[in-house]
């Protein structure tokens, strides 16, 4: 009931202006014509009324122009021809003037109407383009379908109020009486065969109807993009969860093997072991148990999103940390040979990620190297990056497999009789990437594999 009342009120106001503006203009023209006819003693003042008619047509369109032509003719006849004594029977010249007034009113009014229509159309199309651009930006930033629909409805209503636009989700439809209002059209937004939104608007300009059709198609695409991103995020989360579980099993395996070996030797060979050897075995088992405890605590911290410490980085002495990892493999139980060298440098990274990544890389190198060969680890600054290189003298990797050795569960070959699970290098790459670095592998001249990790320099000091 409100909409027709508003339209009627607007029409009445417009008609009043169509009549009032010409009256004001003709009043001024009549006063000017009367003054000229008295002081200049010339009856040639029809051009003033013609100008008044044309101004009225330009200001208020065809209606105002025709009204001005009629009033101008009567005013000219009464005030000038009849000299304020009454209306006179029009002469041929006066009929000619009236026809000229009407023609001028029609021509000016039609031209004005066309210009106004063109201006409204241009403004409407500019608003439509603006709305579509805003919708595209919302689609790029939106992560939830409902928020996108709400923001689009709000934007369209603000930029194009005459459209009386409404947009709702099928999950929360309006009352049936609201949907079935007279003079309104509806259009469904369909994505993957599912109705995800309904558009409703007042039918009017053709540009508006075309805009709503285009908007419905774009919303369908944007919602499809949101769903695709959501699916990709879920798949990524699932992949990270799978990799995390694999990493846990992998990182538990080495310290548990050390603990089992140490405790088995203490039980089986207790009488044959010296006090120093017994103490060394107990210390190794304790060190590995403490390492497991630290790993579990770090894992629990990383899994708590509200734990700020889990996300904080810290300055790390690269060579010193690599030496700690090497000492673990150089223990009497593992009997590996790992040598660390390089310039003193620091990285602002998470120690847990760094240690886990290079423990896996070094372990892979030890596993594939001959017993009497040394695994060499080097760290140095190259330009604006820090390079950490791990070299072994194992059999290397077939060229076709070099790009795959960091893939989950991929194994290029057995190593010293100890079978792996194909996840150590995968976890290493994941951690290095998480720290902002990159890692690759290449075969060494003369045999063996070289794994190179590169990190951008943040907080660094070089001695």
**Partners of residue 186 on adjacent β-strands:** 200
pLDDT at 386: 93
- Asked if the model's pLDDT at residue 52 lies above 60, the reply is yes
pLDDT at 275: 80
CA torsion sign, 8 to 9 to 14 to 19?
A: positive
From residue 166, how far is each of 152, 153, 213, 382 by CA, in Å?
9, 6, 14, 60
Work out the pLDDT band at 319, boundaries 50, 70, 90.
Answer: very high
- Asked if the model's pLDDT at residue 154 lies above 80, the reply is yes
Q: Taking each helix axis from N to C terminus, what angle separates 145-159 and 92-141, rounded to the nearest 10 degrees?
A: 160
pLDDT tens, 248-307? 666 677 678 778 887 887 887 777 778 887 787 888 788 778 777 766 765 565 555 444
- Asked if the model's pLDDT at residue 59 lies above 60, the reply is yes
CA distance 239 to 104: 78
pLDDT at 380: 92
Give the CA count within 13 Å in the CB-facing half-sphere of 50.
13
pLDDT at 454: 94
Average pLDDT (176-193) is 72
| 432 vs 108 pLDDT, higher one | 432
Is residue 254 within 8 A of residue 287, CB to CB? The reply is: no
CA distance 146 to 306: 27
pLDDT at 8: 46
pLDDT at 308: 43
CA distance 139 to 141: 5
Average pLDDT (146-154) is 88
pLDDT tens, 377-415? 999 998 889 999 999 988 888 888 888 888 876 666 544
Q: Which CATH number fits domain 313-463: 3.40.228.10, 3.30.565.10, 2.120.10.30, 3.10.620.30?
A: 3.30.565.10
Q: Which tokens belong to 370?
A: 């001959």
| 413 vs 346 pLDDT, higher one | 346
Average pLDDT (365-386) is 89
pLDDT at 415: 44
Average pLDDT (56-73) is 76
Q: What is the mean pLDDT of the chain?
A: 77
CA distance 287 to 298: 16
Q: Pick from 109-123, 170-184, 209-223, 421-435 the range whose average pLDDT is largest.
A: 209-223
Residues of the chain with pLDDT > 70, as a percent, come to: 74
Range with lowest mean pLDDT among 41-55, 108-122, 144-158, 332-346 = 41-55
Q: Which tokens belong to 38?
A: 């008295």
| 1 vs 343 pLDDT, higher one | 343
pLDDT at 422: 63
**Fold for domain 139-234?**
Beta-Lactamase (3.30.450)
Q: What is the pTM of this model?
A: 0.46
**Residue of 33, 427, 433, 63 whose CA lies nearest to 240:** 427
The domain limits of the chain are 2-119, 139-234, 313-463
pLDDT at 390: 95
Residue 325, helix vs strand vs coil: helix
């Amino acid at each position: 009931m409100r909409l027709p009342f508003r339209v009627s009120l607007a029409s009445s106001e417009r008609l009043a202006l169509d009549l009032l503006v010409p009256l004001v203009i003709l009043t001024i023209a009549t006063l000017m014509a009367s003054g000229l006819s008295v002081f200049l003693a010339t009856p040639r003042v029809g051009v003033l009324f013609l100008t008044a008619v044309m101004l009225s047509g330009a200001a208020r369109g065809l209606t105002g122009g025709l009204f001005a032509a009629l009033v101008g003719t009567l005013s000219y006849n009464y005030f000038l021809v009849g000299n304020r004594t009454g209306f006179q029977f029009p002469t041929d010249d006066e009929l000619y003037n009236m026809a000229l007034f009407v023609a001028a009113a029609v021509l000016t009014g039609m031209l004005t109407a066309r210009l106004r229509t063109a201006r409204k159309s241009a403004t409407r199309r500019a608003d439509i383009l603006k709305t579509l651009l805003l919708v595209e930006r919302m689609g790029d930033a939106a992560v939830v379908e409902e928020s996108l629909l709400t923001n689009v409805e709000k934007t369209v209503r603000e930029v194009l109020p005459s459209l009386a636009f409404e947009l709702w989700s099928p999950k929360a439809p309006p009352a049936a009486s609201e949907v079935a209002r007279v003079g309104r059209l509806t259009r469904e937004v369909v994505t993957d065969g599912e109705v995800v939104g309904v558009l409703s608007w007042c039918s009017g300009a053709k540009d508006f109807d075309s805009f709503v059709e285009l908007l419905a198609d774009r919303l369908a695409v944007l919602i499809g993009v949101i769903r695709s991103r959501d699916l990709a995020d879920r798949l990524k989360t699932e992949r990270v969860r799978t990799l995390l579980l694999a990493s846990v099993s992998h990182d538990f395996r080495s310290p548990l093997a050390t603990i089992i070996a140490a405790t088995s030797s203490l039980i089986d060979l207790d009488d044959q072991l010296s006090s120093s050897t017994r103490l060394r075995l107990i210390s190794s088992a304790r060190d590995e148990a403490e390492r497991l405890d630290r790993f579990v605590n770090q894992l629990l911290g990383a899994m708590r999103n509200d734990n700020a410490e889990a996300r904080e980085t810290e300055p790390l002495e690269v060579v010193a940390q690599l030496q700690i990892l090497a000492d673990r493999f150089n223990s009497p139980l593992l009997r590996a040979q790992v040598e660390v060298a390089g310039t003193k440098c620091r990285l602002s990274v998470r120690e847990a990620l760094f240690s886990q990544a290079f423990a896996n890389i070094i372990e892979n190198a030890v596993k594939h190297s001959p017993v009497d060969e040394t695994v060499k680890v080097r760290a140095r600054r190259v330009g604006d990056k820090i390079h950490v290189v791990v070299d072994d003298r194992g059999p290397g990797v077939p060229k076709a497999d070099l790009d795959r050795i960091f893939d989950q569960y991929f194994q290029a070959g057995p190593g010293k009789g100890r079978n792996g699970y194909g996840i150590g290098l995968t976890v290493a790459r994941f951690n290095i990437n998480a720290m902002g670095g990159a890692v690759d592998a290449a075969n060494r001249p003369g045999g063996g594999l070289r794994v190179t990790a590169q990190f951008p320099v943040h907080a660094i000091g070089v001695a």
